[in-house]
Each structure stands twice: as C-alpha cells, then as structure tokens.
Amino acid sequence: MSVSEAFAEILWAEKYRPKSLKEIVNQEEIVRRLQRFVEEKNMPHLLFAGPPGTGKTTAALALAHDLYGEDWRRYVLELNASDERGIDVIRTKVKEFARSRVPGIIPFKIILLDEADNMTPDAQQALRRLMEMYVETTRFILVANYPSKIIEPIQSRCAVFRFIPLRREDVISRLKWIANNEKVEYEEEALDVIYELSEGDMRRAINILQAAAALGKVTISTVYKVVGLAHPKEVREMIQLALRGKFIESREKLRKLMIEYGLSGVDVVKQIHREIFSADLKIPEELRVLIADYAGEIQYRLVEGADDEIQLNAFLARLALLGKKFIGA
C-alpha cells in the first residue's frame, strides 16, 4: 500500500492505537493501577485527566478490552460529551444503557464520556444522580482535559488518574515504528521537530508524521510546511536583522514569511516567542526579558483585533531600538 493510499484509508493515530493496557507507555503508575482492576474484575467510577494526546481515551478503551475480551464493544457505550453534552442525552441514551444488567463474569458495563469537561452544568447534575443509582450495573469513565470544569460531586465519586505528557524517547520511538511499518523515509532530525511541535501530544505527533509523509520523505522542511509554520531559522534571522538595526530588511523578511507560509500575526508572534528562548539566539538575558514582555503585549493587541502588519512592524521597530541600546547596532 502506498503512503497516499494509507493516508486515505485511515488515520494512523487510530490505526496504531494500543489495544491493551500492556501496550501503553510513559504512564506506568496509571497502567499498574488499572491492571489491578482487571485482575479483581471490579472498579470504581474513573476520571482520567490530563493534556490532549496523552492516552486517556486509549487507556479507557484498553481497560475495557482487557476486562471483557475481544467482544468488549458490546459492554461499552462511548459518547463524546462535546457533541452529546446536554441533559436530554443523559436522561435518555445514558440512562437506558445504565439501567440494564449484563450477564457474564464482569457484573457491570462501562459508559465512557469523552471530553466530559464540555458537559453542561445541568447534564453534570443529572449524571451525578445516575452514577449513584446504577453503580451496581454500570461504571462511568470520564475523560477530561480540564478536570476543574467537572463539578465537585462527580469528582468525589471517581478515582482520579492524572496523565502526563509523553517523554521524547517514547514519542520518537513510536514514530519510528510507525514510519517503518508504513515504509516511510524520514530524517532523524525531522522526528525531533515533530516532538517539539506536538509538545507531548502523541495523537498530534502521529498526524503530523502522516501529513508530512504524504509529501514524500519526512524532512524538517516538510514538517514545518504541513503544520503551517515558518522554519525557526528564518524567524531567527528576522529577529537578528531587527536587532542589528536593519529594520527594512527585517520587515521584508516578515512580509515574505507571512506570504510564503500563510501565517497570521498571532502565528508569527508565537514563533518569535519560541525563538526568544532558543539557545541559538545569542542575546543578553535582560534583552530576552524585554522582548518577551513586549511580545506578550503585541499578542494581546492582535487577539483584540489590531492590524497584523502594523503591530508586527511596531514590534520589529522596538527590536531595532533595543538592539541599538544593548548590542550597539
């Protein structure tokens, strides 16, 4: 199968999702606790919390697979609470599934509510009551990026599992394994860049790899192209030109970046902010602090609706003045 056919057939993030708890990496303590539930064939209501792409939904489905075996889908109701988040869904679909008993070794079914932090307050209050009434026949697994949005009565009824971003070595080793299975050529440095861009989000890392692979060999330039970002080297050059007092050249570089990569003003400021703290940018510490402070001010103006070009030109002009003071440009 060619890369393009694989891309069209299925998202790799789903295709290579771990099917069992023993396949999950970087969450050893969580996996150990969940495996105890499998051994005991019993579990409380669960709340999985943590950043996106760290394995929360995967862990819930893997737990169900290990509990019920290959026929696990018969015993699991999976809902995405961001789509079905109202009280009517809780009162009908969830209640109907929760009230029926299940024959077999495992005396309960599982209702998985993904993105539960998007549920309305009324739906959460209704869910709270169902969790009490049907605890003998049903266990709930709530998955949330922001657990603080889950009401306290629900949190107190759940065993909380906090997921952490994946380690660099785990993400890169998984990306290599997927690339080798799909017969994709890649550069080692490109996988490092994918990790930096994904920030520990495995799902995003796999999707970036797949999108880059659709263009051919996975290189640093193809990775930045598919995520719609400029190469850090070019952003760094723009900053350095401004700090050396070459405002017009720096401005032309900015226009080129925005046109070639289709970047918005906020995108540019975010990349500038990342480069400010890069070890490759050799500037005094006090200057980094001042630039970071002003970058935050420009970002706020842009979010509030100010003109991209005018604000970014003002930013480069400020860099030119700071460069004259600190570097003697």
Residue 208: CATH number of its domain: 1.10.8.60
The reply to whether 117 falls in a domain is: yes
Q: Is the pLDDT of residue 162 over 90?
A: yes
Judged against a pLDDT cut of 70, whether residue 9 lies above it is answered with: no
* Residue 115 structure tokens: 């993105």
Residues 211 and 304 both lie in one domain? no
- pLDDT > 90 fraction of the chain, expressed in percent and rounded: 48
Separation CA 189–CA 181 (nearest Å): 19
Whether 308 is covered by a domain: the verdict is yes
Give domain status of residue 197, yes or no: yes
Considering the domain architecture, whether residues 36 and 153 belong to the same structural domain is answered as yes
Together in a domain, 141 and 50: yes
Last residue of a domain, one of 117, 138, 162: 162
- pLDDT per position as a tens digit, 252-263: 999 988 888 888
Q: Is the same domain home to 196 and 303?
A: no
* Cβ atoms 58, 18 nearer than 8 A: yes
pLDDT at 39 over 90: yes
Q: Is residue 219 part of a domain?
A: yes
Q: What is the DSSP letter of 166?
A: P
Which tens digits make up the pLDDT trace of 197-223?
A: 888 889 899 999 999 998 889 999 899
Residue 239 covered by a domain: yes
* Better-predicted residue by pLDDT, 273 or 10: 273
Question: Does residue 251 register a pLDDT over 50?
Answer: yes
Q: What is the pLDDT of residue 211?
A: 92
The range of the structural domain enclosing residue 298 comes to 232-326
Domain with residue 47: its CATH number is 3.40.50.300
Reported confidence tier of residue 136, pLDDT bands at 50, 70, 90: confident
One domain for residues 301 and 205 = no
Q: Measured between alpha carbons, how far is 55 from 34 in angstroms, rounded to an integer?
A: 13
Give the per-residue pLDDT at 280: 79
Tens-digit pLDDT profile for residues 234-244: 999 999 999 99
In a domain? residue 11: no
Is pTM beyond 0.85? Reply is no
Do residue 73 and residue 190 come from a single domain?
no
Can you give the pLDDT at residue 317?
Answer: 94
301, two tokens: 């103006």
Q: Is residue 250 part of a domain?
A: yes
Return the CATH number at 262.
1.20.272.10
Which of 201, 227, 253 is the endpoint of a domain? 227
| Res 85: pLDDT | 60
Domain boundary among 162, 188, 212: 162
Evaluate whether residue 21 is within a structural domain.
Answer: no
β-strand pairing of 76-80 with 45-49:
unpaired
Inform me whether the pLDDT recorded for 291 exceeds 50. Answer: yes
| Strand order through the sheet with 109-114 | 76-80, 109-114, 138-144, 45-49, 158-162
Domain count, the chain: 3
216 and 254 both lie in a single domain: no
Tell whether 42 and 153 lie within a shared domain. Answer: yes
Per-residue pLDDT tens over the stretch 306-322: 999 999 999 999 999 99
Q: Residue 160 above 90 pLDDT?
A: yes
Q: Are residues 31 and 158 in the same domain?
A: yes
Same structural domain, 66 and 150 = yes
175 and 141 part of one domain: no
* Phi (first) and psi of residue 139, to 5 degrees: -115, 140
**Domain identity same for 129 and 198:** no
With cut-offs at 50, 70 and 90, classify the pLDDT of residue 82. low
Mean pLDDT of all residues in 16-40: 89
